[in-house]
């Protein structure tokens, strides 16, 4: 029997439902937190609200059509996703990509990495409570790059600009000038955000030693990208298994030491600077010439075979497992989602922290629900 | 290069050149039979499903292989050829990767779970299970991941799960049967609406 005093102190774990419609979940993500007081003791994530069957739909399309599902899957780093798909198809088809197209692709892909990380910084700062300022700074800078994408592809979101073999049409005449200007502007923009957040006392208090994950656990969970590098493992597919023309460029791979939320932020900030470096090098070397192979078949038929193509996307390793059995349509197209794998470690990171930190940790994973659910 | 124009074709088995990761597997697992083939990027090992837990465990723990990173786990429906489970592995220390595949018969699609070997396999197996109807034996939490909990009667990524009529039509419009503006393939009149295609395909 409990005494009256003990009964008064008895606590009950309660469930707190976050999402699916909740500003802190970055889309339609739902997690059920079990809290004891302010501490989280368990978390059950629920995903699939945005499952559209992109893999199945791709099986009904020919290789040219199936490309568009990449934009709709990874809607914050569309060029990166398109590149991975195109590389997978080219690998099986044996298509040679012209030099100019390779450079255009790399420039756009790296710029897309910057816009994606801008999105992260803005949303993440909002999660922490730096309401407004960082978000508007990030979105102002993002818009400069967005305008280039718009001019090149004709669309602000669903670009559909890459093709197996190259790109669909050549870039605009003022492309080089605009990109050169945006590179300088991006350096300024990153410094602005840097001065606003990085050494901010409140920001540091909210971030340091929150959501720590060890290197061993990170590997076991299959984390990738900035999440993995924040744990201290300098693994970047652009360096480890160079694809496209990434072996020609100089860039550093930033890593963290603590594996916490703050390290993930720092890694992403530095990655943006490295992306600018890559873009500037690519601009210098970009040749003139064709943008599609001369003998590019209008209707692509792939020989039977299979390939797992992976690229380093802003959120980690994005993979396309493509099975062809001959013919014009993919027999099976699996999208390896970096966000899905990064999200599997959520429970490990959140349990033991306060409810308010759960939001910060989820923000640091930088999920795109379109890619998680596909 | 001659390409087949009809019917699904299997990729030929091309033995990988000596010195690849297939030899390391042969060394580490002398008692287990497997077929090695050179894929477009990685070496592919095809193993029997009874050997899967042993092969995966050795792949992770053997210092010569040290494949600590499960990149991807997926299923493929080969129709009459059964279901296939594919494991994509990588080693940070040796910087090598491999694809391990196993076939499961359609009437008994079971394979041992890898969730006790890699924590990351948990969700990937849940997804593969719901999409293909594969049972991962020994999985700690075998509930659907992306699909609704009560959707257990069909498995979307199986080839016998049909497309909607609209999805078929989208594939036909610009695909193999590409046709002139205004043409509606037979059988799709009801979804084409009045006036046929307005955008000219």
**In sequence order, what DSSP letters do the residues of A92-130 get, joined into one string?**
HHTPPPPHHHHHHHHHHHHHHHHHHHHHHHHHHHHHHT-
Q: Mean pLDDT, to the nearest integer, of A269-282?
A: 93
- Alpha-carbon distance A65 to B171, whole Å? 8
Q: Which of A197, A309, A47 is nearest to B143 (CA)?
A: A47
Task: Choose the closest CB to A48 out of B10, B11, B146.
Answer: B146
CB distance A319–B72 less than 8 Å? yes
Residue A219: predicted pLDDT: 92
- Alpha-carbon distance B156 to B162, whole Å? 8
A37, with CB counted inside 10 A (0-12, 13-18, 19+), is: exposed
Q: Mean pLDDT, to the nearest integer, of B139-166?
A: 84
**In sequence order, what DSSP letters do the residues of A234-265 get, joined into one string?**
---HHHHS--TTGGG--------SS-SHHHHH
Which of A58-62, A340-344, B97-101, B175-179 bottoms out in mean pLDDT, i.e. has the lowest? B175-179
Residue B189: predicted pLDDT: 67
Q: A269 to each of A119, A195, A262, A266, B107, how far by Cα in Å? A: 12, 12, 11, 5, 51
- Alpha-carbon distance A277 to A274, whole Å? 5
Task: Choose the closest CB to A344 out of B74, B95, B120.
Answer: B120
- CATH number of the domain residue A88 falls in: 1.10.645.10
Residue B183: predicted pLDDT: 62
Tell me which chain A residues have a C-beta less than 8 angstroms from the C-beta of B168: 60
Q: Rounded to 5 degrees, what angle do the CA atoms A50, A114, A80 make? A: 55
B41 touches A at CB < 8 Å = yes
Helix, strand, or coil here: A138?
helix
* Confidence class for position A80, pLDDT limits 50, 70, 90: very high
Residue B191: predicted pLDDT: 64
pLDDT at A133 over 50: yes
CB distance B4–A326 less than 8 Å? yes
**In sequence order, what DSSP letters do the residues of A265-292 get, joined into one string?**
HHHHHHHHHHHHHHHHHHHHHPPPS-SS
Question: For residues A37 and B91, which has the higher predicted lDDT (pLDDT)?
Answer: B91
pLDDT at A227 over 70: yes
CA B33 to chain centre: 21
Whether the predicted interface score ipTM is above 0.95: no
Task: Choose the closest CB to A56 out of B119, B144, B156.
Answer: B156
Residue B186: predicted pLDDT: 67
Phi and psi (nearest 5°) for A240? Answer: -70, -40
Q: Is the peptide bond before B94 cis (omega within 30 degrees of 0)?
A: no
Q: Mean pLDDT, to the nearest integer, of B151-180?
A: 72
- Alpha-carbon distance A279 to A249, whole Å? 9
A53 touches B at CB < 8 Å = yes
CB contact residues (below 8 A), chain A span 211-250, against chain B: 217, 219-223, 233, 235, 240
pTM of this prediction?
A: 0.88
Q: Which CATH architecture has domain B21-151?
A: 2-Layer Sandwich (3.30)
B40 touches A at CB < 8 Å = yes
Q: Which residue has the tokens 């996703």?
A: A81
Half-sphere exposure for A162 (CA within 13 Å, toward CB): 33
Residue of chain A nearest B6, judged by CA positions:
A327
Tell whether A37 is covered by a domain.
Answer: no
Task: Choose the closest CB to A303 out of B1, B41, B145.
Answer: B1
Mutate to test the interface with B, among A57, A306, A329, A347 (most CBs of B within 10 A): A306
How crowded is residue A139: how many other Cβ atoms within 10 Å of its Cβ? 15
Per the structure block, which two tokens stand in for A300? Answer: 């692509």
pLDDT at A5 over 80: no
Residue A90, min C-alpha distance to chain B (Å) = 10
Helix, strand, or coil here: A341?
helix
Residue A10, min C-alpha distance to chain B (Å) = 31
B172 touches A at CB < 8 Å = no
CA A29 to chain centre: 17
Per the structure block, which two tokens stand in for B87? Answer: 């494991």
B82 touches A at CB < 8 Å = no
- β-pairing, B110-112 vs B135-137, is parallel
* Confidence class for position B89, pLDDT limits 50, 70, 90: very high
The residue extents of the domains of chain B are: 21-151, 163-193
Residue B200: predicted pLDDT: 41
Which residues make Cβ contacts (< 8 Å) with residue B70, sequence separation at least 6?
A: A222, B87, B88, B89, B114, B117, B118, B120, B121, B124
Residue of chain B nearest A62, judged by CA positions:
B175
What share of chain A has pLDDT > 70, as a percent? 98
Tell whether A30 is covered by a domain.
Answer: no
Domain coverage including residue A67 = 48-372
CA B14 to chain centre: 19
Tell me which chain B residues have a C-beta less than 8 angstroms from the C-beta of A299: 176
CB distance A306–B44 less than 8 Å? yes
Residue A84: predicted pLDDT: 93
- Alpha-carbon distance B49 to B151, whole Å? 27
Tell whether A325 is covered by a domain.
Answer: yes
Looking at the structure of chain A, the number of domains it has is: 1
Q: Which residue has the tokens 């994005």?
A: A318
Per the structure block, which two tokens stand in for A243? Answer: 């694809």
Q: How many secondary structure helices (H) and strands (E) does chain B include? A: 5, 7
């Amino acid at each position: 029997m409990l005494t009256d005093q003990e009964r008064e102190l008895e606590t009950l774990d309660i469930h707190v439902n976050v999402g699916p419609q909740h500003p802190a979940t970055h889309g339609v993500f739902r997690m059920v937190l079990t809290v004891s007081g302010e501490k989280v003791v368990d978390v059950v994530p629920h995903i699939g609200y945005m499952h559209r069957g992109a893999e199945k739909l791709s099986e009904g399309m020919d290789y040219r059509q199936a490309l568009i599902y990449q934009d709709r899957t990874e809607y914050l780093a569309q060029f990166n996703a398109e590149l991975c798909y195109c590389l997978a198809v080219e690998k099986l088809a044996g298509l040679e990509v012209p030099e100019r197209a390779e450079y255009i692709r790399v420039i756009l892909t790296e710029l897309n990495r910057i816009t994606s990380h801008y999105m992260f910084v803005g949303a993440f700062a909002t999660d922490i409570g730096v309401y407004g300022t960082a978000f508007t700074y990030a979105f102002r800078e993002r818009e400069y790059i967005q305008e280039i994408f718009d001019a090149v592809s004709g669309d602000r979101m669903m670009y559909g600009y890459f093709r197996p073999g190259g790109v669909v049409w050549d870039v605009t005449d003022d492309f080089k000038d605009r990109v050169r200007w945006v590179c300088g502007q991006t350096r300024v923009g990153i410094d602005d955000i840097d001065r606003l957040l990085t050494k901010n006392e409140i920001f540091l208090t909210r971030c340091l030693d929150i959501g720590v994950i060890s290197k061993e656990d990170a590997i076991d969970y299959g984390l990738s990208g900035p999440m993995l590098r924040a744990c201290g493992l300098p693994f970047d597919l652009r360096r480890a298994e160079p694809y496209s023309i990434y072996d020609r460029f100089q860039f550093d791979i930033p890593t963290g030491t603590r594996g916490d939320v703050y390290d993930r932020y720092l890694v992403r900030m530095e990655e943006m600077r490295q992306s600018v470096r890559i873009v500037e090098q690519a601009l210098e070397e970009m040749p003139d010439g064709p943008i599609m192979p001369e003998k590019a078949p209008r209707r692509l038929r792939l020989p039977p075979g299979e390939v797992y193509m992976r690229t380093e996307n802003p959120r980690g390793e994005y993979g396309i497992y493509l099975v062809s059995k001959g013919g014009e349509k993919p027999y099976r197209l699996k999208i390896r989602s970096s966000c899905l794998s990064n999200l599997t470690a959520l429970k490990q990171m959140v349990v033991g922290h306060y409810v308010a930190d759960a939001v910060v940790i989820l923000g640091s994973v930088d999920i795109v629900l379109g890619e998680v659910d596909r | 290069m001659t390409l087949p124009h009809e019917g699904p074709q299997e990729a030929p088995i091309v033995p990988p050149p000596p010195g690849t990761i297939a030899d390391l597997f042969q060394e580490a697992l002398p008692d287990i039979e497997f077929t090695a083939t050179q894929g477009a990027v990685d070496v592919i090992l095809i193993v029997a499903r009874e050997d899967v837990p042993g092969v995966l465990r050795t792949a992770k723990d053997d210092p010569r292989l040290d494949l600590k990173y499960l990149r991807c786990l997926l299923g493929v429906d080969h129709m009459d050829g059964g279901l296939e489970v594919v494991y994509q592995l990588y080693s940070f220390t040796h910087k090598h990767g491999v694809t391990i595949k196993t076939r499961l018969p359609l009437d008994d699609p079971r394979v041992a779970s890898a969730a006790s070997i890699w924590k990351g396999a948990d969700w990937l197996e849940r997804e593969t299970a719901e999409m293909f109807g594969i049972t991962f034996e020994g999985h700690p939490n075998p509930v659907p991941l992306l699909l609704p909990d009560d959707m257990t009667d069909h498995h979307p990524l199986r080839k016998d799960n049909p497309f909607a009529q609209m999805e078929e039509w989208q594939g036909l419009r610009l695909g193999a049967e590409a046709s002139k503006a205004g043409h509606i393939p037979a059988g799709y009149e009801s979804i084409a609406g009045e006036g046929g295609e307005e955008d000219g395909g």
